[in-house]
Amino acid sequence: MKDCVFCRIVAGAAPATKVYEDETLCAFLDIRPIVRGHTLVIPKRHATELEDLDAELGAHIFRAGHRLALAIRRSSLAANGANLVLNDGTAAFQTVPHVHLHVIPRRKGDRLSFATGLVLRRPHDPESTAAAIRAGIAALDAD
């Protein structure tokens, strides 16, 4: 879908700081992160909502989110938890009409900074953040 920003990212026609990609998925940093390391996992093939998504591809998205959450724990971002969130439809606060899973790093005692991040949503040095996540992925591969 040419007017979908996530489809444009997949096609290389819109910028994104990618941290992971395979034949069916792409993961990149959210441009308005709640916290440093906030990553989105999307299917490369357009699906507006869960109703449009093949169940096996949905499972693959969550497996990738699980792996990214573990990678972020092993990275220098020092997370000790994660929220995996998929907002399905505008009633559920989905703002981009392309299925996407949020992987949001959490730290013990971060409630105030997390709440502030929900309001401010500012980037946190995307290149070093992506490098840290990629290093966490490499650490998982080495285990």
Q: pLDDT tens digits for 35-61?
A: 999 999 999 999 999 999 999 999 999
Strand ranges, E, within 4-46: 18-21, 25-29, 39-43
Closest CA to 131 of 17, 27, 12, 33: 17
CA distance 29 to 9: 12
CA distance 137 to 10: 20
- 60 part of the active site: no
Token digits for 70? 């573990």
Q: How confident is the model at residue 143 (pLDDT cuts 50, 70, 90)?
A: confident
CA distance 35 to 121: 8
Look up the pTM and report it: 0.94
**Residue 95 exposed, middle or buried by CB count within 10 Å (0-12, 13-18, 19+):** exposed
In DSSP terms, which residues pair with 105 in a beta bridge?
A: 82
Q: pLDDT tens digits for 62-93?
A: 999 999 999 999 999 989 999 999 999 999 99
Q: Which of 46, 60, 98, 100 is catalytic?
A: 100
**Domains in the chain, CATH or no CATH each:** 5-115 (3.30.428.10)
